[in-house]
Structure 1
Amino acid sequence: MIDEKQVKKALLEEQKNEITGHLIYKKLSVKIKDKSNAKILKRISDDELKHYEQLKSLTQTDVSPKFFKVHLYTFISLVFGLTFGIKLLEKGEDQAQYQYAQMLDNGDVIQGILSDEEVHEQELIAMIDEERLNYIGSVVLGLNDALVELTGALAGYTFAFQNTKIIALTGLITGISASFSMAASEYLSSRQEEDELAQKTAAKSALYTGIAYVITVALLIMPFLLIQNPFVSLILTLFTAVVIIFGFNYYISVAKDVPFKKRFIEMALISLGVSGISFLVGVAVKVIFGIEI
């Protein structure tokens, strides 16, 4: 038997979520440039307000929105992309659906809200067309290559040179050169595609690849510029690499609805494995050739 107080408490919480969602979608509909997306967001915003009113008819209570959440999700959507922000918000709505399902004895109102929530998710998935997601493959290429190549190179340089300034300078030269090489390769690869759209967007694909590579290079080299001990710097660089891998894969898992755990572990193991092998190569080179710097 369901406790009436618990039901009302849950309904009030969902009522608060609906008015919060209403304000988030409303703000985003005003701020984004794409008119078709703006119209859909406005419609969903209106639906969320309707859900609020329907729940209010059950609770007979007015509630205030979660203003921090409104500002937070608006900020996330504008900075990290509409797709990511909305799908992150939708994860909360999925939990709401589960709570609604536990209350279906409240009648047709709850069932109607459930139906609307399912339509919302389908619309949101269909509506998003962001440039940054269209070029996600290029970003993955630049990021993956920089992580694998540079973490390995820096690990090798660390034991071979044991001087943070030389390691940073060598890593920077290696990274910048590789970024230009990778961007050029992406451009030529895209130009060879049979798809006309891929050919036309070859320059942008190359740009996204190059930018992803350069940003990753800068973040990985930073510890060697800030800390004198090369081995501590290497540990921080490897930690930074894992954080980058975690953040990027989480972003992709939310925006693209793909599994997170397997992709994260695979990418982290490859980067750290290459780093370990390269470190051993650096040890071998120094021992065999007796090079001292």
Structure 2
Amino acid sequence: MPRELSAKVHATLLKMQRGEITEYHIYKKIASRIEKKDPHNHDVLERTANEERAHYEIWKGYTGEEPRPNRLKIFWYSFLSVVFGITFALKLMENGEDNANTVYTEIIAEVPEAQRISEDEQRHENELLSLLDEERLRYVGSMVLGLNDALVELTGTLAGLTFALQSNRLVALSGLITGISATLSMASSEFLSARSEGRKDAFKSCTYTGIAYLITVTLLVLPYLLLPAHAYALALGIMVATVVLIIFVFNFYISVAQGLNFKRRFLEMAGISLGVAALSFVVGLLVKHFLGIDV
């Protein structure tokens, strides 16, 4: 039989109950997707899902109701786990529950089991995020190397070429040649560096570096390829906005997945990339003026 509760606590428990069953389905869905290719993480997620289900049943004993899971939330975090990885998706989900301890404190007078469940939630969250072993996070250093080098080098190159050449087609041609060459150079350097350290994953490490570099090159050159040849100022503006967006997204990903300070990393990386772009822009103007080159 459902236990007597105040209206406020009853509503709170229903909300928590829905959260538990929703997270149960999120963990189960992600676990089923990676069952064959990643048995370690599958087992961790299955165990966590079962704990969420057990908590749901405890709340059910108080409310006597069976709220439906949030299907939109299930879809959203399952989608994020595919695009950005399971560690990012689950840490982002857990970060959205920072006020849970306050809620448990408010209901503990009427629901004595809330204290134990709160401790269970904290324990399984810590265990889950420490047990998860995801390949892409082991190669964050390689991705940072490729992304950061591409942003700094190519942002400066494109900014300098924009007003030196004043033609999107010429800037795109120069940018692609420079970017592809730099991608191969950076990837091979990472490979040789990893091999010299005796690492067996040298090829995989250089692959992550090369992919991060090439994706960045593509996104930065794209405005020059898509816009008319004479719209070089607009292409430069879009390219700079793209740089800021890439830095924002990547640093948000890293800050969530690895628990790092987002604001400091974002400002540092953006400051370096945009500073180099501004300096290269001035250099491009000076070279064009003093050499008397008119393309």
Q: TM-score, normalised by structure 2?
A: 0.94
- Corresponding residue number in structure 2 for 1:101: 105
Using the TM superposition, give the Cα deviation of residue 28 of structure 1 relative to its aligned residue in structure 2, in angstroms.
1.6
Structure 2 counterparts to residues 90-129 of structure 1, below 5 A? 90-129=94-133
Using the TM superposition, give the Cα deviation of residue 130 of structure 1 relative to its aligned residue in structure 2, in angstroms.
1.2
Distance 2:39 2:218 in 1: 37
- Corresponding residue number in structure 1 for 2:248: 246
Distance 2:73 2:114 in 1: 24
Using the TM superposition, give the Cα deviation of residue 108 of structure 1 relative to its aligned residue in structure 2, in angstroms.
2.5
> Please, which of 9, 15, 18 is the counterpart of residue 16 of structure 1?
18
Distance 1:36 1:149 in 2: 39
> Please, which of 47, 55, 64 is the counterpart of residue 68 of structure 2?
64
Distance 1:272 1:7 in 2: 51
Using the TM superposition, give the Cα deviation of residue 15 of structure 1 relative to its aligned residue in structure 2, in angstroms.
1.0
1:239 and 1:157, CA in 2 relative to 1: closer, same or farther beyond 3 A?
A: same
Amino acid at match of 1:275: A
Distance 1:105 1:92 in 2: 25
Unaligned runs of 5+ in 2: none
Amino acid at match of 2:237: I
1:101-125 CA distance string (max 9 Å, x none): 3322223311121011111112112
Answer yes or no: is 1:75 the counterpart of 2:79: yes
Answer yes or no: is 1:225 the counterpart of 2:225: yes
Asked if structure 2 preserves the Cα contact closer than 8 Å seen for 1:159 and 1:283, the reply is yes
Structure 2 counterparts to residues 1-293 of structure 1, below 5 A? 4-32=6-34, 33-193=37-197, 196=198, 199-228=199-228, 229-293=231-295
1:18-62 CA distance string (max 9 Å, x none): 110011111122111322321221111111111111112222222
1:96-154 CA distance string (max 9 Å, x none): 33322332222331112101111111211221111111111000000000000101100
Unaligned runs of 5+ in 1: none
Distance 1:178 1:260 in 2: 28
Using the TM superposition, give the Cα deviation of residue 189 of structure 1 relative to its aligned residue in structure 2, in angstroms.
1.3
Q: Secondary structure at the match of 2:97?
A: helix
Amino acid at match of 1:266: E
Using the TM superposition, give the Cα deviation of residue 226 of structure 1 relative to its aligned residue in structure 2, in angstroms.
1.2
Deviates more, 1:28-37 or 1:116-125: 28-37
Deviates more, 1:87-96 or 1:156-165: 87-96
Amino acid at match of 2:294: E
Residues matched between the structures, number: 287
Deviates more, 1:277-286 or 1:199-208: 199-208
Deviates more, 1:122-131 or 1:90-99: 90-99
Among all aligned residue pairs of Structure 1 and Structure 2, give the percentage whose two residues are the same amino acid.
51
Asked if structure 1 preserves the Cα contact closer than 8 Å seen for 2:17 and 2:56, the reply is yes
Amino acid at match of 2:201: T
Using the TM superposition, give the Cα deviation of residue 4 of structure 1 relative to its aligned residue in structure 2, in angstroms.
3.5
Distance 1:233 1:258 in 2: 33
Asked if structure 2 preserves the Cα contact closer than 8 Å seen for 1:160 and 1:286, the reply is yes
Distance 1:31 1:6 in 2: 38
Distance 1:54 1:224 in 2: 59
Distance 1:110 1:268 in 2: 44
Q: TM-score, normalised by structure 1?
A: 0.94
Deviates more, 1:71-80 or 1:203-212: 71-80
Q: Secondary structure at the match of 2:68?
A: coil
Asked if structure 1 preserves the Cα contact closer than 8 Å seen for 2:44 and 2:132, the reply is no
